[in-house]
Amino acid sequence: MRSVGNDLVYLSAKNCINKFKDERFVHKVLHKSEQQLLNERRSKHELLWFFWAVKEASYKCVKRIDPHFKFAPTKIVTEELSHPFFQKDIPLFNLEDCWRKKGFCDTKMLGSRVQTPNYRLFAKTLFTKNLVYTTVCTEETDFDEVYWGIKKISTSDRNTQSSEVRRHITPQIAALKGVTATNAIHIKKNEVACPEVFINGQLHSNPISLTHDDKYVAYSFQNDRSEPVFRGAFDANGRGVQIAT
């Protein structure tokens, strides 16, 4: 079964700064191998929250497959980092270029594998000046069909975060699905709090994951491999005005 999870950490949050010095927290959330890597690298702040984002995204990914899966951070282990990150300056993305994206083939991406008690997962992570963002998939090839984005909003209010990420992703899903009215799309959480996409009241199987932190929201949405991509435009009322094959 395919699944996707994502997570976003605002690195400038007061409760994040210098958290790598909190030994109790570090031992509570990191596996011994991750603790060793943290001790060896100079970018400890970024590395700690990279691990955290991967663990949260992995939990969301597995929870969709296994509703009984419990969040136990030390049992979600990041392995096989694909890039010499945290040894020198971390390559940064421009936040303005991080909306309505597809795939994770950029060389600035940090690839890694994740081991949970019952599942082997794959992660892609990027950094901006103030953020770390991770998407996790069940298969490495699935990243080619993942649409994703990060956006800054005007407030950190939790209810607004939730509504804003849904508002921003709806036109994207409509374009991918060839739906000419965005009000036909609804995103609802299921019984285990995983978001699901409904189009005209019908549940679609495409995995979706949403996340937010401070004034930032993000999504990852896995499209069907066999499904043609709708490259349309929308007017102010959310109606499609152009469809290309």
| CATH code given to domain 4-223 | 3.90.470.20
Segment 128-133 shows an average pLDDT of 94
- The stretches of 120-245 forming alpha helices (DSSP H) are 158-177
**Boundaries of every domain in the chain:** 4-223
User: How many Cα atoms sit within 13 Å of 177 on the Cβ side?
Assistant: 23
List, for residues 195-235, the tens digit of each pLDDT value.
999 999 999 989 999 999 999 999 999 987 654 443 333 34
Distance, CA of 165 to chain centre: 12
- For residue range 163-178, list pLDDT tens digits in order: 999 998 999 899 888 9
Rounded CA separation 19/187 (Å) = 34
Is residue 244's pLDDT more than 60? no
Give the tens place of pLDDT for each residue, 19-31: 999 999 999 999 9
Q: Which carries the bigger pLDDT value, residue 181 or residue 118?
A: 118
Under a CB-based contact definition with an 8 Å cutoff, are residues 103 and 135 in contact? Answer: no
Residues 6+ apart with CB under 8 A from 58: 5, 76, 114, 116, 121, 123, 136
Burial of 180 by CB count in 10 Å (0-12 exposed, 13-18 middle, 19+ buried)? middle
| Confidence tier at 99 by pLDDT (50, 70, 90) | confident
pLDDT above 90: residue 84: no
Cα angle at 4 between 177 and 132, to 5 degrees?
110
Work out the pLDDT band at 180, boundaries 50, 70, 90: confident
Mean pLDDT, range 43-59, rounded to an integer: 96
Run of H or E residues at 40: helix 32-40
In this prediction the pTM is 0.88
pLDDT (0 to 100) of residue 196 = 96
